[in-house]
Chain A
Amino acid sequence: MSADAVTALALSIRVALAATLLNALIGIPLAYVLARRAFRGRALVDLLVTLPLVLPPTVTGYYLIVVLGRRGWLGAPVYALTGWSVAFTWYAAVIAATVMALPLLVRTARAAIESVDRELEKAAFTLGRSEWRTALEVTLPLAKNGIIAGLVLAFARALGEFGATLMLAGNIPGKTTTVPLAIYTAVQTGEMGEAVTLVLALTVLSCAVLVLAGRLGARAA
């Protein structure tokens, strides 16, 4: 394996892990709220979270540029203040991967949380537990396998992210070139040996992740 391939693989794993962590922090509370709370705008939140699942990744990437790019809604004030922009950094790759993977976690975790018997939560209330503590001690532990399966899926999705990453983070070798981007570059430049190595590496990694998710999913069911 070439040094560039190893760099790309290391970057991909780093980005996927960071995106999975962000997914856990954002996605699990979001899944809980969507599953258990009725609030105004719930359908809208659900729609926004799910949208990257059905939109072409380039479209999602475009929206990310509109929001976070140097001239974006959020990106412009940040750039004006600090002279720094998230676009074309490895953080951008993490953000792109997070947004693309979020629907997989939220949908899986939400289904798992919804399948927890509400009587158990009511029982916890009558035994003095607040809703917050009930979620931590009853609901989430019982939805654990579904949530972990969702995280594994999110990790796999983040690992394979291409379109949105290319839009927001670009293809900068050693900085934002993850494995899928490196494969694309290798094929474009005719380095078939490099491409095959990376293709096989990503295939093996993704298979391992899916097998793991399948096992956890089976236990959750």
Chain B
Amino acid sequence: MKHRFAVEITKRLPGFTLDVAWTAGDGVAVLFGPSGAGKTLTLQCLAGLIHPDAGRIVVDDRVLFDAAAGVNLPPQQRRVGYVFQGYALFPHLTVAENVGFGLRDRPRAVRDTRVADVIARLDLGGLERRRPSELSGGQRQRVALGRALAIDPALLLLDEPLSALDAPLRRALRDELRSILSGWGTAAVVVTHDFTEAYRLADRIIVYESGRVIQAAPRAELLWQPASEAVARVMGLRNVLHGTVVKAMPDRIQIAWRGHTLEAVNSPTHSYLPQPESPIAFFIRPEYVRLVRKDRSAPDAAHHMNLMRGTVAGEADFGTVWSLRMRLDAAGAPAQGDFDLEVEVPHLVYEILDIEHDRHWEFSIHRGSIHVLPT
């Protein structure tokens, strides 16, 4: 199967403008971003429930909407499956009637076969005669999926498919949803504001902010190379910092920050070469900062890369890890309010190093763990 779809839409609402263009293909595309960024609005435009002001929507060479050509297929003719945030199951119909709702035009025998097939594939056997109110959250989600998939949609849309569930179920169903989507082979667009969810489900992630797309990339690329500071903030990355370029080379980049000169790996694909003295944003993942053990001599020089000293100015216990807020031994105001760097250490490390009583530490960051954010 080879799917291709392209979305290019503008929609002006009071106090909000959606203006996005992106493409996706086989697999799952996730629209990721904060609430109110226009993700659901995009889905509704794709489904034909909202009429964009301008643009073009093409799914597998089929034009669903083209403002210039005056094409606007009604939702009934789009063959786009929609799984609503609260699932929107018909409460007065049974599971089987819900799943078969979109197959009304087919002959009875065809419909029954298809419904039975969908119910079997989604592991809903035995629930055919139940009403939605008699189902668990996970079962409801599968019925909603089955109802949308039964019509053999050209494109499947899922709006926050896991938000109606509580945390433990959410994790289980995230993986189940991933396997259903890949097993079914239908191209899908999923909306979520949770990055973990986006990363687990996506082949490609499209990052939304305030009605615009700020990055569209395969998920791994997004994780390791956010295109800008805005993307890093939407992703919820911690330790997003600002320094000054000392020297930029294709493979390395040196950054002056808080009295230190940090060395970072330059983005190999984007070959970003800012001028010396220009401001630069970068981020450091808290779990990639290494504390230097005082009871051992350093095993190799790399351990001392980007070496800094600081004091624990604050800490928080997250159950499995401790988050330490380090303030550097450097003059000037700290970079993030009352601290410079958030460092994450597992509980075991916290206990072995007795961080509870020993508050002053040296720490180092490998150059590959300092990520430059192009502007």
Contacts and interface: CB of A to CB of B under 8 A. Distances in A.
Interface of A: 117, 119-120, 122-130, 138, 141-142
Given A125-B76, A126-B47, A129-B76, A120 B88 contact: yes
Nearest to B153: A126
Contacts of B105: 128
Most B CB contacts (10 A, CB to CB) among A117, A123, A124, A138 go to A123
A123 B82 contact: yes
Given A123-B84, A138-B90, 4 more contacts: A124-B101, A128-B151, A141-B92, A142-B91
From A122, A124, A127, residue with most partner B Cβ within 10 Å: A127
10 contacts: A117-B86, A117-B88, A122-B49, A122-B75, A123-B84, A124-B90, A125-B49, A126-B76, A128-B76, A128-B102
Contact of B101 (A117, A122, A127, A142): A127
B78 A126 contact: yes
Interface residues of B, number: 24
Contact of A130 (B47, B76, B80, B101): B76
B88 A127 contact: no
B187 to A, nearest CB: 16
A142 B88 contact: no
Nearest to B92: A141
B104 interface: yes
Contact of B104 (A122, A123, A128, A138): A128
A116 B84 CA distance: 15
Contacts of A124: 90, 101
Contact of B84 (A122, A129, A138, A142): A122
A115 to B, nearest CB: 12
Nearest to B144: A123
Given A126-B75, A126-B80, A128-B76, A120 B102 contact: no
Q: Choose among B48, B90, B105 the residue with the greatest number of A CB atoms under 10 Å from its CB.
A: B90
Contacts of B142: none
A122 B88 contact: yes
A124 B80 CA distance: 12
Contacts of A123: 82, 84, 88, 90, 147
B82 A122 contact: yes
